[in-house]
Amino acid sequence: MQRLMDTALATAMASLKKLDQHDQDVFALRFKRSFADLYGPLQVLYGHLPEFESMLLSLSTHLADAWAKRSPALRLHDLKRDLEPDWFQRPDMLGYVFYLDRFNDNLKGVLKKLDYLEEIGASYVHFMPCLMPRPGDSDGGYSVMDYRQIDPRYGTMADLERVTTALRHKGISTCVDLVLNHTAKEHEWARKARAGDPKYQAYYWMFDDRTQPDMYEKTLLEIFPEHAPGNFTWYDDAKKWVWTTFNEHQWDLNWSNPDVFVEIVDIMLFLANTGVEIVRLDAVAFMWKRPGTQCQNEPEVHQILHALRAASRIAAPALIHKEEAIVAPKQLIPYLGVGEHSGREGNLAYHNSLMVQFWSALATRSTKLMTHVLRSHFPTRFENATWGTYLRCHDDIGWAVTDEDAGAVGISGAAHRHYLADFYEGGFPGTFARGSVFQANPLTGDRRTNGSLASLCGLETAIANKDMSAMSLAVQRILLGHALIASFGGVPLLYMGDELGMLNDPSYKHDPHLSHDSRWLHRPRMDWERAGHRHDQTTLEGQIFTGITRIMARRRATAHLHGNNPTEIVDCGVDGVFAFRRSSPTGALVALFNFTENWLPVPRHWVAETGARNFWDELSGARVDTPGDVVALPPYARVWIT
Ligand code: GLC
């Protein structure tokens, strides 16, 4: 390895001759620091190929070229992040997630709303897919035909750079999606492949006949069984079957080809050089294919992600990686780095289980399953990584509750999943929720759920029934959820519109490109008129907005909530209450959440034994009185007791 590193570094340095000595030295230091993290995984993936060494040399040149093009301002930012490597774990982190057109038309529109972002307290904004999509239906922008151009509806790369710079000056980091598993079939690589170019055919998974597709199909799942059944598509002009896990227009990339790795590194660093600080690596679970498996979460995926991370650490250290893997706990944890990848893989990953368990507990008014799942499957902290905590996002909710976990608390997995889909569709007697079923799969019985946070929390039904007390319960559920994601550990991700309690938006049904995909139900356009009422406490939006921004302000002021402090799930013995402890060098914080519309008592001695000393609620900024030796929790109460 030493010999290879010397050769690779010498090759790379040739690209840096024009830089001053200091910038050359910094690159060399970072290259040496992270070379083993590049070499090790790549050796596993591509070491058996005759072109392995030349690939490494070419990759090193790409890294140096990217560093040479990085602006002095971003190089300084790299240094800043080197000095504060925990920046994304700090309690002042808050993500705000939106579609550019649905927020304020385009990139320039973001600049007009900087005051709004600051008011929310956002320190991270995720522009939902904004790179050049294919025309027509593009899976919400996740079918990308050019990674080096912005969707013209949103602006240009120069606009992106202007916006990331303006945001950075306000202390806000920009996140964009980088789709790793597939490109649009209109991408230049795919067009060349389709026209017969063997170099580009090797970028994808293409087969002459059904032999291999049939073999793989035996163990593959279907992602969109309703509108995109099967995992392969036949193209008559190319006379090929192409691997298309998601939609027909999304062609899976072949990551066993080292050229694909080098191309993507180049794109990733190109994006980093526009000032992007977080890449959301989309659908990473699917990147490696292995016969006889579901082709998800294969060990090679983690080697790829480890090596990608090393590439950023060398050429754009201010960039961090968020890995999107909506998979079961056991498969999810490795995306934040375990074993040989510990501290060296993703910096952020969605806590899908926390999200599912929030909804499950809200429906059942029981926290047994939630406590069991979150306590038995997850480590209390990660090295150099933390969760993205969220309640809703642009995707559906999959009821990922295993039969084993359900069995452990004495319920049936199948019946519970069925119940949750019914409850959140709005069909179950007595439900408060209003949503819709997504991708019902008659073969597996699986049904997923769509709907906005507020509608799923009961606000839509309450408004329709003009039921004031139901409205107030819905608002309390929304605030309960935000107090949960603000304190659990990780970066809370606010989904645009949720801060105002925006309801389901069925207008997508009239758009021919969107009508087949009911996830658009919860992707509304920002209602700026409603936002205008956000300071008016007599309105629902005022109560929700003030409630959420207050929770986030308390989060910023509470050092216990740093992502590096362990999150230990504890059982207070009261069903309906979810509890965890955040241990910190200055003492513990005990967080309690009442998931029911009843008053629930938690014994004082239990709270004290769990670590609370002063009985001070950091969330409300008030003493916690304990008459009768209990902490009495009102309906949907949340407290952070130190
Ligand atoms: C991710 C996105 C989802 C998209 C899929 C395919 O899961 O969140 O919206 O459909 O990837 O790109």
**DSSP characters for 47-62?**
TTSTTHHHHHHHHHHH
Summary mean pLDDT of the chain: 97
Q: Quick one: pLDDT band at residue 282, thresholds 50, 70, 90?
A: very high
Above 90 in pLDDT, residue 585?
A: yes
Q: How far apart, in whole angstroms, are the C-alpha atoms of residue 33 and residue 518?
A: 47
Q: Which residues belong to CATH 1.10.1740 in the chain?
A: 2-83
Q: What is the pLDDT of residue 224?
A: 92
The amino acid occupying position 445 is G
* Choice among 37, 151, 252, 282 that is catalytic: 282
Q: Which residues, at least 6 apart from 550, have a Cβ–Cβ distance to it below 8 Å?
A: none
For the stretch 146-190, pLDDT in tens is 999 999 999 999 999 999 999 999 999 999 999 999 999 999 999
| Radius of gyration of the chain, Cα coordinates, nearest whole angstrom | 25
Q: Which atom of ligand 1 is nearest to the CA of 394?
A: 9
Q: Is residue 139 within 6 Å of ligand 1 at its C-beta? A: yes
Decide if 282 contacts 142 (C-beta within 8 A).
Answer: yes
Give the integer Cα–Cα distance in Å for 430 and 452.
19
Residue 1 has pLDDT above 90, yes or no: no
Rounded distance between C-alpha atoms, residue 421 and residue 393, angstroms: 17
What would the CATH number be for the domain defined by 563-641? 2.60.40.1180
| Residue 226 confidence (pLDDT) | 87
Please say if the pLDDT value at position 274 is more than 90.
Answer: yes
In the reported structure, the alpha carbon of residue 361 is separated from the centroid of ligand 1 by a whole-number distance in angstroms of 26
The answer to whether residue 443 scores a pLDDT higher than 90 is no
Ligand 1 atom nearest 246 alpha carbon: 6
CATH class of the 2-83 domain in this structure: mainly alpha
Structure tokens at 28: 């060399």
Q: Half-sphere exposure of residue 284, counting CA atoms within 13 Å on the CB side? A: 29
Could you tell me if 398 and 448 are in contact, meaning their C-beta atoms sit under 8 angstroms apart? yes
All CATH 2.60.40.1180 domain ranges of the chain, comma separated, are 563-641
Question: Distance from the CA of 430 to the center of ligand 1, in angstroms?
Answer: 33
How confident is the model at residue 618, as a pLDDT? 98
Q: Which of 37, 186, 266, 324 does the annotation list as catalytic? A: 324
- Amino acid identity of 399? W
Cβ atoms within 10 Å of 52's Cβ, excluding its own: 16
Q: What is the pLDDT of residue 589?
A: 98
Is the pLDDT at 48 greater than 90, yes or no?
Answer: yes
Tokens coding 517: 């995909």
Q: What are φ and ψ of residue 235, in 5° steps?
A: -115, 115
Tell me the mean pLDDT in the region 546-553. 98
Residue 444 has pLDDT above 90, yes or no: no
CA–centroid distance, 142 to ligand 1, in Å, is 6
Q: How would residue 197 be classed by pLDDT, with cut points 50, 70 and 90?
A: very high
**Residue 598 pLDDT > 90:** yes
Location of each CATH 3.90.400.10 domain in the chain: 188-252
Find residue 593's DSSP bridge partners: 578, 638
> In this predicted model, what pLDDT tens digit does every residue of 53-73 receive, in sequence order?
999 999 999 999 999 999 999
Closest Cα to atom 4, ligand 1: which residue? 142
Distance CA(129)–CA(281), nearest Å, equals: 11
The pLDDT value given to residue 227: 86
Note the pLDDT tens digit of each residue in 514-534. 999 999 999 999 999 999 999
**Is the pLDDT score of 294 beyond 90?**
yes
**For ligand 1, is residue 142 a contact (CB within 6 Å)?**
yes
Give the DSSP H/E element, type plus range, for residue 387: strand 386-389
| Separation of CA 547 and ligand 1 centre (Å) | 31
Res. 454: pLDDT tops 90: yes
Which of 311, 393, 394, 318 has the alpha carbon at shortest distance from 358?
Answer: 393
Taking the CA of residue 143 as reference, the ligand 1 atom at the shortest distance is: 12
Q: Are 458 and 480 in contact (CB under 8 A)?
A: no
Instruction: Look at ligand 1, atom 10, and give the residue with the nearest C-alpha.
Output: 139
Average pLDDT over residues 372-377: 98
CA distance 448 to 364: 17
Contact (Cβ atoms closer than 8 angstroms) between residue 182 and residue 283: yes
Separation of alpha carbons 560 and 642, rounded Å? 9
pTM for the model: 0.97
Task: Report, as an integer, the average pLDDT of 466-494.
Answer: 98
C-alpha span between 417 and 354 (Å, rounded) = 16
Q: What is the SS3 assignment for 88-104?
A: HHCCCCCEEEECHHHHH
Which of 282, 284, 281, 268 has the alpha carbon at shortest distance from 318?
A: 268
140 ligand 1 Cβ < 6 A: yes
For residue 217, indicate whether it is catalytic.
Answer: no
Mean pLDDT of 370-376: 98
Of 230, 233, 267, whose CA–CA distance to 251 is shortest?
233
**pLDDT band, very low/low/confident/very high, at 127 (cuts 50, 70, 90):** very high
CA distance 509 to 516: 8
Regarding the beta carbon of 283 and ligand 1, being less than 6 Å apart is answered yes
Q: Mean pLDDT across the stretch 344-358?
A: 98
> Within 10 Å of residue 124's Cβ, how many Cβ atoms?
26
pLDDT at residue 549 in the model: 98
Query: What's domain 188-252's architecture?
Result: Alpha-Beta Complex (3.90)
Task: For residue 277, indicate whether it is catalytic.
Answer: no
Instruction: Check residue 72 and give its pLDDT.
Output: 97
- Which of 228 and 317 is assigned the larger pLDDT? 317
Whether the per-residue pLDDT at 115 is higher than 90: the answer is: yes
How many Å lie between the centroid of ligand 1 and the Cα of residue 540? 32
Q: Give the per-residue pLDDT at 26.
A: 98
Percent of the chain with pLDDT over 70: 100
CB contact at 8 A, 416 and 407: no
pLDDT band at 442 (very low <50, low <70, confident <90, very high): confident
